C-alpha cells in the first residue's frame, strides 16, 4: 500500500540518490521472473537502507529474508572494508538470481548465505551484529525479534519491514488474520520494550527501527 499521494512519492524518488545500475537491473528481473515481486525493497527504501549503512559503517549485518538480494546490495554499500552480511533465506530457488547480482555488484565475498528456517539458523549465529533487517514471514516476527536482539551489540540497529501492513494495523483485526495480529502486538511490545529505543517510520509499508540500549 502506498501511503503518500503518488505525486509526493514520485517527487521524493526524484530527489533521492539514483539507485546503482546493478539494482535497476535486479529490480527489472525480479518483476519479470519472480513471484511476489512487491517484496523487493525498491528505490526509496533501498536508498534508505544504504544511507543508514553508510552512517553506521557496520562490520556485521544480519538479514532475515534475502529474497532476490536487493537489500543485501544496498547494505553492502556501507560495509566496512572487511565487513560481512549474514543473510537467511528459506527459498533456495532464489539462490541463482542472488548469486548473479551479488557477483555483478562485487559483493560475493562479503555475503554469507544461510539457506533454511531463520528459527533454526539464528540460534547458531555468533553475537556482535551492528545492524539487522527483518523482512520475512510476518507470523514469526516476534520470534525473530527476540532471537535477534541478543545477537546485537549495544547501539546496534534492528530494522523490521512492513510493520504498517498496508494500514491494517490501525484497525481491529478482522477474522483469521494472524499476520496483522502479530504485527500489532509486536509494534506495541517494542514501544514498551526498555531494551531498545525505537521509532516507527512511515516509509513504504512501514519500518520499525530499534536501537539496542
pLDDT, tens only, 172-198: 888 889 999 999 999 999 999 999 999
The domain over range 6-212 is classified in CATH as 3.40.50.150: yes
**Mean pLDDT of all residues in 157-181:** 92
Across the chain, the runs of DSSP E, i.e. the strands, are 60-64, 84-89, 111-115, 129-134, 152-161, 196-201, 207-212
| pLDDT tens-place string over residues 69-85 | 999 999 999 999 999 99
List all residues 6 or more positions away from 38 whose beta carbon is below 8 Å from its beta carbon: none
Identify the pLDDT of residue 176. 86
Q: Residue 112 has which C-alpha cell? A: 554469507
| pLDDT tens digits, one per residue of 104-129 | 999 999 999 999 999 999 999 999 99
* Residue range 75-98: mean pLDDT, rounded: 97
Q: Could you say which DSSP state residue 138 is in?
A: G
* 202 exposure class (CB count in 10 Å sphere: 0-12, 13-18, 19+): exposed
202 φ/ψ angles, rounded to the nearest 5 degrees? -80, 55
The pLDDT assigned to 1 comes to: 60
Q: What residue ranges do the domains of the chain occupy? A: 6-212
Question: Residue 38: which pLDDT band, with cuts at 50, 70 and 90?
Answer: confident
Question: How many whole angstroms separate alpha carbon 183 and alpha carbon 161?
Answer: 10
Mean pLDDT calculated for residue range 45-67: 97
Amino acid at each position: 500500500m502506498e501511503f503518500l499521494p503518488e505525486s509526493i512519492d514520485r517527487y521524493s524518488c526524484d530527489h533521492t540518490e539514483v539507485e546503482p545500475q546493478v539494482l535497476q537491473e535486479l529490480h527489472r528481473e525480479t518483476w519479470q521472473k519472480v513471484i511476489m515481486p512487491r517484496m523487493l525493497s525498491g528505490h526509496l527504501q533501498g536508498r534508505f537502507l544504504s544511507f543508514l549503512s553508510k552512517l553506521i559503517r557496520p562490520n556485521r549485518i544480519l538479514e532475515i529474508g534475502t529474497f532476490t538480494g536487493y537489500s543485501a546490495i544496498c547494505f553492502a554499500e556501507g560495509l566496512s572494508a572487511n565487513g560481512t552480511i549474514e543473510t537467511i533465506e528459506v527459498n533456495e530457488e532464489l539462490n541463482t538470481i542472488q548469486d548473479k547480482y551479488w557477483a555483478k555488484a562485487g559483493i560475493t565475498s562479503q555475503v554469507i548465505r544461510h539457506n533454511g528456517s531463520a528459527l533454526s539458523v539464528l540460534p547458531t549465529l555468533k553475537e556482535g551484529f551492528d545492524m539487522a533487517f527483518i523482512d520475512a514471514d510476518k507470523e514469526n516476527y516476534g520470534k525473530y525479534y527476540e532471537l535477534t536482539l541478543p545477537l546485537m551489540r549495544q547501539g546496534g540497529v534492528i530494522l523490521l519491514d512492513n510493520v504498517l501492513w498496508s494500514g491494517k494495523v490501525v484497525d481491529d483485526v478482522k477474522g483469521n488474520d494472524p499476520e496483522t495480529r502479530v504485527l500489532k502486538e509486536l509494534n506495541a511490545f517494542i514501544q514498551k520494550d526498555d531494551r531498545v529505543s525505537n521509532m516507527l517510520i512511515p516509509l513504504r509499508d512501514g519500518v520499525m527501527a530499534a536501537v539496542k540500549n
